[in-house]
Amino acid sequence: MMSGPQRRTVRDLRRGNRAVLLRALYFGGPASRQELTGSTGLSAATVSNVTGDLLAEGVIVEAGQVESDGGRPRVLLRVNPEHGYAIGVDVGETHVRVELFDLAMTERAKADYALRPARHEAELVARHILAGIDVVLAEAGVGSERMLGVGIGVPGIVEQGPGPVIHAQTFGWESVPLEALLRQGTDLPLFIDNGAKTMGQAELWFGAGRGARHAVVALVGSGVGANIVTDSDTYRGATGSAGEWGHTTVAVGGRRCRCGSLGCLEAYVGAEGVLGRYAEAGGTVASDDEQTALAALLEDDSPAARRVVEETVTFLGAGLGNLINLFNPERIVVGGWAGLLLGRRHLAALREAARRHALALPYGQTTIELGELGPDAVALGAATLVVESFLR
Amino acid sequence: MMSGPQRRTVRDLRRGNRAVLLRALYFGGPASRQELTGSTGLSAATVSNVTGDLLAEGVIVEAGQVESDGGRPRVLLRVNPEHGYAIGVDVGETHVRVELFDLAMTERAKADYALRPARHEAELVARHILAGIDVVLAEAGVGSERMLGVGIGVPGIVEQGPGPVIHAQTFGWESVPLEALLRQGTDLPLFIDNGAKTMGQAELWFGAGRGARHAVVALVGSGVGANIVTDSDTYRGATGSAGEWGHTTVAVGGRRCRCGSLGCLEAYVGAEGVLGRYAEAGGTVASDDEQTALAALLEDDSPAARRVVEETVTFLGAGLGNLINLFNPERIVVGGWAGLLLGRRHLAALREAARRHALALPYGQTTIELGELGPDAVALGAATLVVESFLR
DNA sequence: TGACTTAATTCACATCGTGACCTAAGATGG
DNA sequence: CCATCTTAGGTCACGATGTGAATTAAGTCA
């Protein structure tokens, strides 16, 4: 609608078609040049030229032949997993985990740093990340010239921009310029995003969201968030803080949420909210550990427990219904440890609750599935940020 | 993320740059070639070439010169308003209105057909539209070869696709293939969308949403809807039914909505819902006409009326807060006749209610404004669908 | 009137994608 | 073992495109 610096020169063309081919090979498995002409719409000549360049640069490699019946056999091409490496970092409540992946997303090395409760200073986290980068590079024997970048999943809201800034209540981070802190210790390209979003991204690339152009990954853990994909691209909004589904209001004037507002979805379906509601209903929370406690609650057959679970399903269904009505996705993936715990037992009820709260038409055009990846996917998802930029 | 038929040839380049220049001229008012090089990022040579083509085709025309201080004066260029015309159609509860615009969106002719209550057969509506097209073409003396197309705003959900299909409860339309019906009477390109969305589009192009890349137009009338713009493009979701904000749940287990669900936003802030709540609270609805009745309610100083209005503001604020949290827009425009009625008196309270229900960060990055266009903008917005495709 | 300034156009050049044509590499049948 | 056929992939000339440098156009100012 408005003007701006859009695409122009003839060189961008090649860059674009290169990316198209690369993506086709990355997501479409090994393929012959012949098949690529079909799937990309490019001419055979161009495919030949571009793949020639990519082969010469070592970005892709030949991967055997396909038997023929009476003609020259097709040579399969695939992305060279060792052409580049990406590091994914999971900054969580209890640890900083640094993992190194090759382009095929095979883990090559890992480093773990425990965080003591209430010791989440940004400088400490940054030191851990930098140390972790050195460790995994050394462990895998990968030179930094082969590194495509480092993706980092952090809690809280990430304000994207030239100098990304992180706001993380639980860490006591206010406007922390994590990138600037790391920049003093490394020259690698850095990609920072919300950890829930990176987890959702992993689910979209390698999990239950594979192949969807319009999808929503709903992440329910202690907190609640969502990764919204429109036209195969994560929606970030004007400043990158889009998708704060957990703090949408589903009960005006309802329960107080830790964000300060009333009636947030998170206050009802986040693990903390569920356990809190159970306690208020007179139930006894089984453990100090949220995960153990929630699992126990789900096993509990007492009327109080069952009512709380039922209510949780209703609220979560309403939240999912809202996503369906607003985004009209073709697929919804429910993930996060609490979401998986609840969904494994009550997926049918959850679908039914979503159906009740969504319009019939968009509901009929979507499917609600459980995530296939565990909570460990944060680092993997963070690494996909790097690969995503590489494929562009 | 997935492969598909993406852009490729060198000809697309020119098409793209042509569109870039055209958009810059359309939205950036008259501009010289010199200025265009700056605003589009293209080289002076290319600007010269492309504008040369556009001038030769009559798409743009020269528009005077700008005085110089010691150099060759700049020649201003602008889109030729008479190069093409677009028809916008507003299919409403009480009428079918057909308007003809030139490219500058000046109205050139108009035709109006009253609809009797409960007489909304698709065939009748289609006949009115076709008749209206003939009438406005004749009235304005425009040949159909100069027509860029017809945009149509209809109530209900429009399922986009090769053969768009309309679902409109209030009209008793179920899967009505309006395009196919019209296709029998005209060869003009047809663009069909929800009327609220077309109204929002008008607001975005010519009203309070001008220039925003990420915006939401919230439309509150008898029903409630939203037009969501991401990256300067209306978001339509997988099948075009995205943005059904009115039927998102803001009160789990709350008031029954006409869609059948419980606790929809529309049940609280739609004109019907507001008046219904007032009646339930013991108030007397002043008129049979919703608009008169709502206006009276807003003037009423009785405690009951004030409580209903206050509640409405709270619910609408929660709904706006949800949009802010999910979409992180830079601007929110509140429109629709009921929204304007409410907003003119209570905008500050509305902003405050939204603030209470949104996260501080995204709330701080958005502004909430009132729409500048009246409800008559449906046809104008429908015509922008045509122009949008022309600018591409 | 002549020097200067700025806008717009022209031109040679490099790059790109493409269709037509050619080469590579296998199977098949004698 | 060889000729023929079939399919995959590469090469080449061509037209289209954007760009920087040079050129032309059209003013102001002293």
Token pair in block for residue A18: 């290169």
pLDDT of residue A187: 96
Candidate from A2, A17, A253 with C-beta closest to B232: A2
Cβ atoms of residues A333 and A381 within 8 Å? no
B175 shares contact with chain A (CB less than 8 Å): no
| A·B CB contacts under 8 A | 232
Contacts B328 to A, Cβ<8 Å: 236-244
Between CA A170 and CA A193 the distance in angstroms is 16
Q: Which residues pair with B100 in a beta bridge?
A: B87, B109
DSSP states of B319-364: HHHHHHHHH--SEEEEESHHHHHHHHHHHHHHHHHHHHHS-HHHHH
Amino acid code (one letter) for B195: G
* B 281-310 → A contacts, CB under 8 A: none
End-to-end C-alpha distance for chain A, whole angstroms: 24
Residue A7: the pLDDT is 67
Cβ atoms B122, B176 nearer than 8 A? yes
B347-350: long-range pairs with CB below 8 Å, 24+: B349/B310, B349/B313, B349/B317, B350/B313, B350/B316, B350/B317, B350/B320
Tell me if A354 sits within 8 A of A54, measured CB to CB.
no
Residues 80-109 of B with CB under 8 A from A: none
Distance CA B252, CA A97 (A): 39
Q: Which residue of B has its CA nearest to A323?
A: B248
| Separation in Å, CA of B41 to nearest CA in chain A | 5
CB B330 within 8 A of CB A238: yes
Give the DSSP H or E segment for B226.
strand B224-230
Answer whether B310's CB lies under 8 Å from B302's CB: no
Cα–Cα distance, A319 to B250 (Å, whole number): 9
Cβ–Cβ gap A359/B251 under 8 Å: no
Q: For residue B311, what pLDDT band results from cuts at 50, 70 and 90?
A: very high
> What is the reported pLDDT for A70?
81
Which of A79, A213, A326, A387 to mutate against chain B (most B CBs within 10 Å)?
Answer: A326
pLDDT at res. B25 = 96
**Count of alpha carbons within 13 angstroms of residue A201, beta-carbon side:** 28
Task: Quickly tell me which residue has 């080289």 as its tokens.
Answer: B43
Q: Alpha-carbon torsion A357, A360, A365, A369, what sign? A: positive
Q: Are A158 and A192 in contact (CB under 8 A)?
A: yes
Q: Least CB-CB distance to A252: which of B17, B167, B314?
A: B314
- Give the one of A261, A321, A365 whose C-beta lies nearest to B238's C-beta: A365
Query: What residue ranges in chain A does DSSP mark as E strands?
Result: 31-32, 60-66, 74-79, 85-91, 95-102, 107-114, 147-154, 157-159, 165-168, 173-176, 190-194, 215-220, 224-230, 233-234, 331-335, 367-370
Give, as ranges, the nucleotides of chain C with any atom within 7 Å of a protein CB: 4-11, 14-20, 24-28
Q: How many CA atoms lie within 13 A of A266 on its CB side?
A: 25
pLDDT at position A192: 97
In 3D space, the residue among B20, B1, B36, B122 whose CA is nearest the CA of residue A20 turns out to be: B1
CA of A86 to C1' of D17 (A): 36
Q: Which of the 8 DSSP states describes residue A218?
A: E
B102 pLDDT higher than 70:
yes
Residue with tokens 């057959």: A301
CA dihedral A336, A169, B331, A360 (to 10 degrees): 20
Spatial contact of A107 and A140, defined as CB atoms under 8 Å apart:
no
CA distance A97 to chain B (A): 26
The mean pLDDT of B144-149, rounded to a whole number, is 96
Q: Find the CB nearest A17 among B8, B24, B318.
A: B8
What is the spatial distance between Cα B165 and Cα B369, in angstroms, rounded to a whole number?
33
Taking the CA of residue A328 and the nearest CA in chain B, the distance in Å comes to 5
Average pLDDT estimate for B98-127: 95
**Residues of chain A neighbouring B315 (CB-CB closer than 8 A):** 252
Question: How far is Cα B83 from Cα B57, in angstroms, rounded to an integer?
Answer: 9
Reported confidence tier of residue B1, pLDDT bands at 50, 70, 90 = very low
Chain B residue numbers touching A247 (CB-CB < 8 A): 325, 358-359
* Helical ranges in chain B per DSSP H: 10-27, 33-40, 44-57, 122-140, 178-183, 195-206, 266-269, 271-280, 290-299, 303-327, 337-357, 360-364, 377-390
pLDDT at B375: 77
Whether A326 and B245 lie within 8 Å, measured CB to CB: yes
Q: Which residue is nearest to nucleotide C27 (CA to C1')?
A: A70
Query: pTM value?
Result: 0.94
Q: How many CA atoms lie within 13 A of A304 on its CB side?
A: 13
- E strand or H helix at B212, and its extent? none
In this structure, which amino acid lies at residue B258?
A: R
Number of Cβ within 10 Å of residue B7's Cβ equals 15
Query: For the packed helices A33-40 and A10-27, what is the interaxial angle rounded to 10 degrees?
Result: 110
Mean pLDDT of B187-193: 97
Task: For chain A, positions 304-343, list CB contacts with chain B under 8 A.
Answer: 314-315, 318-319, 321-322, 325-330
Q: Strand D closer than 7 Å to the CB of A72?
A: yes
Which pLDDT does position A4 carry in this prediction?
Answer: 47
Is B37 (CB) below 7 Å from strand D? Answer: no
How confident is the model over B323-375, as pLDDT tens digits?
Answer: 999 999 999 999 999 999 999 999 999 999 999 999 999 999 999 999 999 87
Question: In Å, what is the CA distance from A76 to each residue of A26, A35, A72, A82, B272?
Answer: 13, 9, 12, 17, 63
The length of chain B is 392
Nearest to A20 among B3, B330, B357 (CB): B3
pLDDT tens-digit profile of B246-286? 999 999 999 999 999 999 999 999 999 999 999 999 999 98
Closest nt to residue B20, judged CA to C1': D18
Find the DSSP H helices in B58-187.
122-140, 178-183
**Smallest CA–C1' separation from A12, nucleotide:** C16
Asked if B239 has any chain A CB less than 8 Å from its own CB, the reply is yes
What count of residues does chain A have? 392
The reply to whether residue B314 touches residue A16, judged by beta carbons under 8 angstroms, is no
- Residue-wise pLDDT for B38-67, tens only, equals 999 999 999 999 999 999 999 999 999 988
Work out the mean pLDDT of chain A and round it to a whole number. 94
Q: Does the pLDDT of residue B7 top 90, yes or no?
A: no
**A94 CA – D19 C1', rounded, Å:** 55
User: What distance in Å separates the CA atoms of residue A251 and residue A70, rounded to the nearest whole number?
Assistant: 68
> For each successive 10 residues of chain A (392 residues), what is the average pLDDT?
63 95 94 95 96 97 87 95 97 94 97 91 96 98 96 94 90 94 96 93 95 95 93 91 95 96 97 96 91 96 96 98 97 96 97 97 97 91 97 92
Distance between CA A392 and CA B389 in Å, rounded? Answer: 27
Per-residue model confidence (pLDDT) at position A6: 67
β A331-335/A367-370 pair status: parallel
Q: How far is the CA of B55 from the C1' of D21 (A)?
A: 26
Tell me which residue of B224, B323, B322 sits closest to B274, measured CA to CA.
B224
Nucleotide nearest to A49 in CA–C1' terms: D10
B199 DSSP assignment: H
- Please indicate whether, in this complex, the C-beta atoms of B261 and A357 are within 8 angstroms of each other: yes
CA atom of A226 to C1′ atom of C16, Å: 41
Residue B30, chain A, CB below 8 Å: the answer is: no
Percentage of chain B modeled with pLDDT above 70? 98
DSSP H/E element including A315? helix A303-327
Rounded distance between C-alpha atoms, residue B164 and residue B152, angstroms: 12
Instruction: Give the closest residue to A362 by CA, choosing from B238, B80, B387.
Output: B238
Q: Which nucleotides of D are covered by protein (CB under 7 A)?
A: 5-12, 15-22, 25-29
Alpha-carbon distance B349 to nearest alpha carbon in chain A (angstroms): 16
Mark residues 67-86 of chain B whose C-beta is closer than 7 A to nucleic acid strand D: 67-73
Crossing angle of helices A10-27 and A44-57, rounded to 10°: 80
| CA–CA separation, A215 and A330 (whole Å) | 6
Is A230 in contact with B230 (Cβ distance < 8 A)?
yes
| Residues B3, A39: C-beta atoms closer than 8 Å | yes
Residue B2 has pLDDT above 80, yes or no: no
B5/A41 CB distance under 8 A: yes
A1 at B interface, C-beta within 8 A:
yes
Residues 6+ apart with CB under 8 A from A123: A181
